[in-house]
Amino acid sequence: MFAQIIVDVPAKGTNRLFDYLIPPSLITTVEIGSRVEVSFGGRVLQGYVVGLSRESNYEISKLKPITRVLDVEPPLTEELVSLARWMSDKYLCHIAAALGVMLPGALKGKAERYVVVNEATVSSADSSLDESLVQTSGQDTMQAIMTFPIQQSILSYLRSKNKVTLPELLDTFAEDIGTVKQMFESGVLQEVQAVRDRLAVRKVLTVFAKFGAEHLREVAEKLPAQAHKQKDTLLAIAEHDKPLRVTELNELVPGAAGAARTLANKGLIELKEVEALRDPYAGRKFVRTDALQLTSDQQIVFQAIEQAVVASYHEVFLLHGITGSGKTEVYLQTIQSCLDLGREAIVLVPEISLTPQMVERFKGRFGDQVAVLHSRLSQGERYDEWRKIKRGLVKVAIGARSAIFAPFKRVGLIIIDEEHESSYKQEETPKYHARDVAIRRAELNDAVVVLGSATPSLEAIHETDYEQDGTGRFKLLSMHNRASGGLLPEVHIIDMRDELKQGNRSMFSKGLYKAIEERLHKKEQTILFLNRRGYATFVMCRTCGYVAQCPHCDISLTYHQKSHAMRCHYCGYAERELKRCPSCDSEHIRHFGTGTQRVEEELYKLFPSIRVIRMDVDTTSAKGSHEKLLTAFRNKQGDVLLGTQMVAKGLDFPDVTLVGVIAADTVLGLPDFRAGERTFQLLTQVAGRAGRHLLPGQVFVQTYMPEHYAIQASSRHDYAAFAEHELEARKARGYPPYHKMMLITFMHEQVPPLIRAASSFADELRKRGAALSMRGDSQLPCLDVLGPVASPIPRIKDRYRFQCVVKYRMDTLASQLVAETAELFEERLAKEKIGFSVDVDPQYLM
């Protein structure tokens, strides 16, 4: 039998199948989806089995065998393997990269090299040494006598330590390199390679009783008085009647760990290392909740989705529900239906809104059937949650983007909450969009996809046949009322230009100031939102306007409070805080502190007694701090919750009646065709935090562009008006969703060769596009190549960047054309060392 393997080397030359022999001993364990150890081009690495066959086209005598299977059960399924191939086509990434992103970090095995003693040769080597002592004379004998103890000490060194690397050995026996060499030549020592996982399965020392409880009690009673520890321990074990962790035992009987060892020696119990799953939510009680009575809106939506789930009919629903309309309850109940059918469900949530509150709702309803995957878990915890899924111990996976790869076997329902969030697009290779992967995965499983949002992306709304031109693939479901029956908050747009004219130079308008003051009186709470973008923490000289920049990246350095350093966001370059301006020597150089810090200071100035809880990168970096701050706010230990994106989404506090947006238009100024969409989404989301329960809410939006349609529409809670306007604009300019897009970036240390290569690449692509249009599938050009132009960040890590934007109609053809052209240029780009990357459906054109 032969296995077709993708080796874990994401590179052009290795992005293909390699045949390997399956040794007879492994024939029953190697499956499609297995992770195996293979030797490949003089080294050992991990590979993924993506196919099995009885024949090989490769010369069989040259095939190498699979040396080891790395997991008890294959970590991937056939379905995930086929999904990886699809991703590789769609996103022009290496299959190894696509497979890699599906596995938890713990399973990225890397080869380790170390020196081993070939025990079989040792005795013969010793005896040959003895012989040489007898047979030879003079210098040879002297040498043998000299090296013999050295050999012995090398051997005992290696036997005492495990996994000694060659450099380590040479370092330790630096004086005797000659002897070490000899030992390698004679075969006594060997360097071997083996794949080792980044992380081991956690083992816990566990007590197993070897006799029944009755017998143990009897023995315990007979123990001498001074052995009371042993007696207590034994009784505790007898009491428990199940295998017990030593740590638990120690809690019951302090000092039991020692006694347990003695008892084990007496043969009464056994101590064994047992595989354990770390539970990040261990010891936390979740209050069980039952299904709520659905509102009529919810009921209609629920029935539509449930019907498809029950019928196992692949369908994509776009659930447009205003903030507070109760989307989560609909999710919970549809998931229940899915589980009732014996199928599993995946719930994707943007990282930022995967709050404890959210987890609680799912754990509360489905208990320990839920696995949670988010970035704040340690690698070990993440691995264990993943294994729960893999082993079928849970039926629901909730997590951020990469949870779409949860290794379930029969996915019946995939829910993507806040579908419009750009964080569903991975910015690193493989640059996949979880929404598209979800739809593909659902197709493969006859599963249902629910995309939920209060502000659907234009891509999604376009797919619902919004314009009734028959192009839609999604079914639109809507919920226009808040589940609580409450009203959407009243939104006031405040023209900051007027404020300035009236002499108000503070960052708070009079209206917002008054509103905050009022909440303080009424003991109600306020959320203040500050968009991070635009309020960068750069360092500027107030005398000459000098801005500290990264010497490698053409981007401003960011000031870091903690280390008093200025850091580059892109390459990590850091230098110490400046006391004087390097350009004009002025002392008036200072950082424009994180926007939130400035706002906080100002708040304390305006309202000396105010209690502000600030949430930004600085205050939430420690593990669990995010949760702590939110709990404090919930317990009304703060009057104001001030923060960046983190406070914009998903939070639900009953006493929040005021939301203030300090500067609504910072995003609008960015050179991005999605700027309007982002602004609308953000404002709508933030506004949705106010007045979610009994108390009515109020929102103040401060802006310098009050007439902008995104701001206007969001203030009226009018998604339809916004969508109509925005779609019109996109259509006119040929942007998504009417055209698809690809961003091709070229990178090099020097500009001229970079421009030359990028230009000829663009020309070639245009030529091919034109040739294809000529063949007449469509009258319109199927491909429009813009650029090359300098990227918005023109240099990163000393490499200049130029980019081409490709707009196109049919995605497979365009990907193919780009792939072909890339292949054609492969040699040239490699030779000139020009970096090249493709982003399909980019979220940001930079």
Partner DNA sequence: TTGTAGCGCAGT
Partner DNA sequence: CTGCGCTACAAG
Residue ranges that bind DNA, judged by CB under 7 A:
9-14, 17-21, 38-43, 56-58, 62-64, 831
Alpha-carbon torsion, ordered 394, 395, 401, 406, to 10 deg: 70
The reply to whether 571 sits in an annotated binding site is yes
Using the minimum distance from each CB to DNA, give the nearer residue, 1 or 476. Answer: 1
Alpha helix positions (H), 455-494: 458-463
Cβ count within 10 A of residue 188: 22
Residue of 641, 547, 563, 633 whose CA lies nearest to 596: 641
Q: How far is the CB of 100 from DNA (least distance, A)?
A: 12
Q: Which is nearer to DNA, 98 or 235 (CB)?
A: 98
Q: Which is nearer to DNA, 9 or 824 (CB)?
A: 9
The residue type found at 327 is K
Phi (first) and psi of residue 411, to 5 degrees: -70, 130
CA distances, 101 to each of 358, 389, 839 (Å): 25, 16, 16
Least distance (Å) between residue 751 CB and DNA: 20
CA 90 to chain centre: 20
Nearer to DNA (CB atom), residue 427 or residue 826 = 826
> Do 316 and 476 touch, CB atoms closer than 8 A?
no
**Rounded Cα–Cα distance for residues 533 and 792 (Å):** 15
| Backbone region of residue 367 per phi and psi (left: phi > 0; alpha: psi in -120 to 50; beta: other values) | left
Q: Which C-beta is closer to DNA: that of 84 or that of 548? A: 84
Q: Which is nearer to DNA, 42 or 267 (CB)?
A: 42
- Cβ nearer to DNA, comparing 6 with 438: 6
* Under 8 Å between Cβ of 164 and 89: no
Least Å from the CB of residue 264 to DNA: 44
User: Would strands 490-495 and 698-703 be described as parallel, antiparallel, or unpaired?
Assistant: parallel
Closest contact distance (angstroms) between CB of 22 and DNA is 11
Kindly state the smallest distance separating residue 164's Cβ from DNA, in Å: 18
Least separation in angstroms between residue 71's CB and DNA is 20
> Closest Cα to residue 689, out of 488, 418, 453?
488
Output the DSSP codes for 653-687: -TTEEEEEES-TTTTTTSS-TTHHHHHHHHHHHHH
Distance CA 674, CA 669 (A): 11
In this complex, which beta carbon is closest to DNA, that of residue 11 or of residue 751? 11
Q: Compare residues 177 and 720 and give the one whose CB is closer to DNA.
A: 177
d(CA 214, CA 227): 19
- HSE-CB at 648 with a 13 A cutoff on CA atoms is 24
Tell me which residue of 17, 23, 39, 175 sits closest to 88, measured CA to CA: 17
Q: Is 338 annotated as contributing to ligand binding?
A: no
- The answer to whether 649 touches 350, Cβ cutoff 8 Å, is yes
Sheet holding 35-40, edge to edge: 18-21, 2-7, 43-53, 35-40, 66-69
The smaller minimum CB distance to DNA, of residues 19 and 384, is found at 19
Give min distance, CB of 108 to DNA, in A: 12
- Work out how close the CB of 277 gets to DNA at its nearest, in angstroms, rounded to a whole number: 31
Q: Is 93 annotated as ligand-binding?
A: no
Long-range contacts of 152-157 (CB under 8 A, 24+ apart): 154/179, 154/180, 154/183, 154/189, 155/117, 155/122, 155/188
**Closer to DNA at the Cβ: 13 or 776?**
13
804 is in an annotated binding site: no
Rounded least distance, CB 5 to DNA, Å: 8
When the beta carbons of 532 and 756 are compared against DNA, the nearer one is 756
| Beta carbon of residue 788, minimum distance to DNA (angstroms, whole number) | 23
Task: Give the shortest CB-6-to-DNA separation in angstroms.
Answer: 11
Query: What are residue 558's phi and psi, to 5 degrees?
Result: -105, 135
Residue closer to DNA (CB basis): 222 or 831: 831
Considering the complex, what minimum distance in angstroms separates the CB of residue 735 from DNA?
33
Rounded least distance, CB 112 to DNA, Å: 11
Assess contact for 422 and 428: CB atoms under 8 A. Answer: no
- List CB contacts of 699: < 8 A, sequence separation 6 or more: 489, 490, 491, 492, 658, 659, 660, 661, 686, 687, 690, 715
The answer to whether 422 and 675 have CB atoms below 8 angstroms apart is no
**What minimum distance in Å lies between the beta carbon of 523 and DNA?**
58
Which CB atom, from 731 or from 797, has the smaller least distance to DNA?
A: 797
Closest CA to 617 of 633, 596, 600, 634: 596
Our CA angle for 17, 23, 28, nearest 5°, is 90
Pick the closest to residue 751 from 799, 803, 792 (CA basis): 799
Supply 459's token pair.
């891509």
**Is 568 marked within a binding site?**
yes
Q: Tell me how far, at minimum, the Cβ of 94 lies from DNA, in Å.
A: 9
Is the preceding peptide bond at 280 cis, omega within 30 degrees of 0?
Answer: no
Choose between 42 and 503: whose C-beta lies nearer to DNA: 42
- The angle subtended at Cα 245 by Cα 286 and Cα 369, nearest 5°, is 30
Identify which of 643, 689, 638, 694 has the alpha carbon closest to the alpha carbon of residue 525. 638
* 751, 744 Cβ separation under 8 angstroms: no
The gap between the terminal CA atoms of the chain, to the nearest Å, is 48
Pair 769, 785: CB distance under 8 Å: yes
Annotated binding site for Zn(2+): 541, 544, 550, 553, 568, 571, 581, 584
Q: Which residues are annotated as a binding site?
A: 541, 544, 550, 553, 568, 571, 581, 584
